[in-house]
Amino acid sequence: MTDGSRFVPGAGHPGPPGPDHPALLVAGRKLLLGPDGRLNRIADLPGDHDWVPIGTLDDVPVWAAGRSKAGAGRWVSWRRLAAELPEPLAALAGRALQVVTWRHSHRWCGACRAELADVPGESARRCPDCGLYVPMRLSPAVLVAITRPGAAGRPDELLLVRHSYGPTELWALVAGFVEAGETLEAAVHREVGEEVGLTVDGLTYFGSQPWAMSGPGVLLTGFTATAADPAAEPVVDGRELVQARWFPLDALPAELPPAYSISRWLIDATATGARR
């Protein structure tokens, strides 16, 4: 779902915030929406806020700040916001959450303890004393939709898993964070082996999505693949994953990831592709 507007992430704008510029306040993991459920403007949020630029929405600067006093409106999680507002507003709000959270947790120099300063025009801070440069970093993660051919005359099947944490009723895709020194492709093969004990062939890139749920700065990358051995059954460790099973693509469970997630886009595209 998209509303046709264009968000370009960025870290620099000349001049102060204008009264009509979109603005997001962040408190912990919550974001403030206006009483009408839409984004606030600077003029809607009087008070002393330390506004930082996060990019432009249709060439208009957008601002974010940590909460310094309660504002009128609704405090919502990013999950709720992404379910209610179309893209690119969910991505914009995810970036606001990330920038504010990151600045809050990167206040002091890790080498000499001096207070870091923003680097104008960059998503980065620098130590005025020792020069340490601290860029905002992303955490890449991989997701994979694994299929296998069904029995003779039956539809293909998709592997779905249930986690022991988070929304445990959901049937999700095999997923995990990329390790330092690892390619995205190697991360898929490793996670599939670790989580369900399978090997896969035909790994194909699907797309990506900035994701503000599992901590700020997560970049999800989606892949499709096929089971190397169609007869192999998944084995879970019982700790991170509690269940894994094959579902026929025309009989997927109802408890699937939300419509705004790349997990769901992958599952829907796999099911649609099988029907063609």
DSSP result, 56-88 = EETTEEEEEEE-SS--SSEEEEHHHHHHHS-BT
Q: What's the min distance (Å) between Cβ of 163 and Zn ion?
A: 40
Strands (E), 182-217: 200-211
Q: What's the min distance (Å) between Cβ of 112 and Zn ion?
A: 3
Nearer to Zn ion, 108 or 205 (CB): 108
Q: Is 232 in the site for Zn ion (CB under 5 A)?
A: no
Q: What's the min distance (Å) between Cβ of 103 and Zn ion?
A: 16
Nearer to Zn ion, 1 or 130 (CB): 130
DSSP state of 172: B
Nearer to Zn ion, 58 or 129 (CB): 129
Question: What backbone phi and psi angles, to 5 degrees, belong to 70?
Answer: -65, 140
Six-digit token string for 262: 């790349």
Chain positions 78 to 117 lying near Zn ion, rule: CB under 5 A, are 109, 111-112, 114
Q: What's the min distance (Å) between Cβ of 107 and Zn ion?
A: 12
Q: Which secondary-structure segment (H or E) carries 275?
A: helix 262-275
Q: What's the min distance (Å) between Cβ of 122 and Zn ion?
A: 17
Burial bucket for residue 229 (CB in 10 Å: 0-12, 13-18, 19+): exposed
Q: What's the min distance (Å) between Cβ of 126 and Zn ion?
A: 9
Chain positions 130 to 169 lying near Zn ion, rule: CB under 5 A, are 130, 132
The helices-and-strands tally (H runs, E runs) of the chain is: 4, 16
Q: Which of 127, 145, 187, 266 binds Zn ion (CB under 5 A)?
A: 127
Nearer to Zn ion, 67 or 106 (CB): 106
Task: With contacts defined by CB under 5 A, name the span among 18-26, 49-57, 122-130, 240-248 that binds Zn ion.
Answer: 122-130
Residue 226's nearest CA partner among 155, 147, 159, 160 is 147
Nearer to Zn ion, 26 or 116 (CB): 116
Nearer to Zn ion, 127 or 174 (CB): 127
Q: How far is CA 201 from CA 123, 164, 179, 189, 224, in A?
A: 38, 27, 21, 9, 9
Six-digit token string for 67: 């909460």
Nearer to Zn ion, 111 or 235 (CB): 111
Contact residues toward Zn ion (CB under 5 A) are 109, 111-112, 114, 127, 129-130, 132
